[in-house]
Amino acid sequence: MKRKKRIIGIVAVLLCIASLYLVQKLLMPKYSADIFEGALIEDYYNETTEHQVVFIGDCEVYENFSPITLWEEYGITSYIRGSAQQLIWQSYYLMEETLSYEKPDVIVFNVLSMQYGEPQNEAYNRMTLDGMKWSGSKIKSIFDSMTEEESFVEYLFPLFRYHSRWSELTADDVTYMFSKKRMFHSGYLMRVDKKAAGSVPEGKILDNYQFDDSCYEYLDKMVALCEEQDVQLVFIKAPSLYPYWYDEWEAQIESYAKEKGVPYVNYLEEIEEIGLDFSQDTYDGGLHLNLSGAEKLTRYFGNWLKENYDLTDYRENEELAKIWSEKKDFYDEMKEDQYRELDEFGYLKSYGAREVTNED
């Protein structure tokens, strides 16, 4: 009798743990109806082959570069490990983690995040961290990112963070319980709509333009890591008109890159050469490029890569060609679908855009 009770007890505990796991999966946000960028980080683990180039950074990478174009025109395989407001230490740990999965020839890092020396925002932290698979890098990244109100337990068991979603559950929460909706193209978030940039005001005057010491530390770590792993590190500043990129910041990066011998390109200075037209090539008035802008930038950047690095053109490789052809198909499908929605609704209804009103 006692034995039976013990067995029932153990079974009960196991069932309880299993149900907790399922409930957690159910209640975590799926980012399937809006705020798609929340699903970016997790998308990486779906990749089946390695990449020659890996982009790391915030929205200035995942909205501005098209890996499909890089493949089509240069046969270069790439992936963008981006996420919203990705902070520099988060980028470093993503870099460290990526290098445990593969060894790309080039890693490209967008330096905008040098301006943030402190943990910023719980919601953005979640979008960058929740999607990572458990690893030493993830744990370190969590501890460096937590704001005052957060606690590690809530990252270990996200159920404690998202339990209150019980009253907001939708059908999507069940559909995408174990895998997210496919929305990205090797980490690129596509937008075909247009919204011309207006006049760009000068940035506000800051008290202090000096980047935080901790940010420089992480930059140093990136340089050291890439050297140690024999990966070419490249710094860029994407050609987004907002947020404002100060001359004082530019000077610091230029001098750092020169000192460390890391190539650095500021694409804000090459807008004409790239052929960017901010009345056509942006979907939000200059913050991010749209599809046509991203393809232009990628074409230009690909050329620079070709000239500076010895990167194999894999378009003849049967296995890779098959994989990337499928990616291209999905890319074209989404492009078509987005244009269709623009025609039908005037805005990208299912892609996170808001209805355009006369006040916009």
Partner 1 sequence: MLFTSYNFILFLVIVFILYYCIPKKFRWILLLFASYFFYAQAGVELLLFLLSTTVSTYIVSLQLLRLSGTQKAYIAKNKTVLNKEAKKAYKSKIKKKQWKWLLACLFFNFGVLAIFKYTNFTIANINSLITAFGGTKQLNFLNLVLPMGISFYMFQTMGYLIDVYRGTVQAERNIGKLALFVSFFPQLVQGPISRYNDLSRTLFEKQAFNSSNVWFGLQRILWGYLKKMVIADRILPAVNTIINAPEDYQGAYVLAGMIFYAIELYADFTGGIDIVIGIGQIFGIEMTENFNRPYFSKNITEYWRRWHITMGTWFKDYLFYPISICKPMRKLSKWSRNHLGEAVGRKLPVYISTLVVWFVTGLWHGASWNFITWGVFNGVIILLSGECAPLYQWFHKRFRVENKIWYSAFQILRTFLLMSSLRLFDCYRDVKTAFSMFGTLFTKWNYEVFFNGSMLELGISTADYMVLLLGVLLLLLVSLRQRKGSVRQQMAEKPITVNLLAVYLLFMAIIILGAYGIGYDASQFIYNQF
What is the smallest separation between the CB atom of 149 and partner 1, expressed in angstroms? 6
Closer residue to partner 1 (CB): 9 or 243: 9
Quote the CA–CA distance of 97 and 164 in Å, as a whole number: 31
Closer residue to partner 1 (CB): 127 or 238: 127
**Cβ(119)–Cβ(147) under 8 Å?**
yes
Verify binding: residue 145, partner 1, rule CB under 8 A: no
226 strand-pairing partners: none
Closer residue to partner 1 (CB): 122 or 144: 122
Quote the CA–CA distance of 324 and 142 in Å, as a whole number: 33
Q: What are the phi and psi torsion angles at 218 (to 5°)?
A: -70, -35
- Residues numbered 101 to 140 that lie near partner 1 (CB under 8 A) are 122
Verify binding: residue 151, partner 1, rule CB under 8 A: yes
Verify binding: residue 160, partner 1, rule CB under 8 A: yes
What is the smallest separation between the CB atom of 229 and partner 1, expressed in angstroms? 37
Q: One symbol per residue from 233 to 252: x for binding partner 1 (CB under 8 A), - otherwise; what is it?
A: --------------------
Verify binding: residue 149, partner 1, rule CB under 8 A: yes
- Which of 184, 187, 161 has the alpha carbon at shortest distance from 29? 161
Q: Which stretch binds partner 1 (CB under 8 A): 155-163, 202-210, 262-270, 332-340?
A: 155-163
Verify binding: residue 20, partner 1, rule CB under 8 A: yes
Residue 173 structure tokens = 């929460």
Quote the CA–CA distance of 103 and 253 in Å, as a whole number: 26
Measured CA to CA in angstroms, residue 89 lies from 57, 92, 96, 141, 219 at distances of 10, 5, 10, 7, 9
Sign of the CA dihedral 341, 344, 347, 349? Answer: negative
Closer residue to partner 1 (CB): 163 or 258: 163
Verify binding: residue 27, partner 1, rule CB under 8 A: yes
- Residues numbered 164 to 183 that lie near partner 1 (CB under 8 A) are 164, 166-167
Verify binding: residue 159, partner 1, rule CB under 8 A: yes
Close Cβ partners of 107 (under 8 Å, ≥ 6 residues apart): 53, 54, 55, 56, 95, 98, 226, 231, 232, 233, 234
What is the smallest separation between the CB atom of 65 and partner 1, expressed in angstroms? 33
Residue 329 structure tokens = 């198909």
Verify binding: residue 150, partner 1, rule CB under 8 A: yes
Radius of gyration of the chain (CA): 22
Q: What residue ranges bind partner 1 (CB under 8 A)?
A: 5, 8-9, 12, 15-16, 19-20, 23, 27, 122, 149-151, 153-154, 159-161, 163-164, 166-167
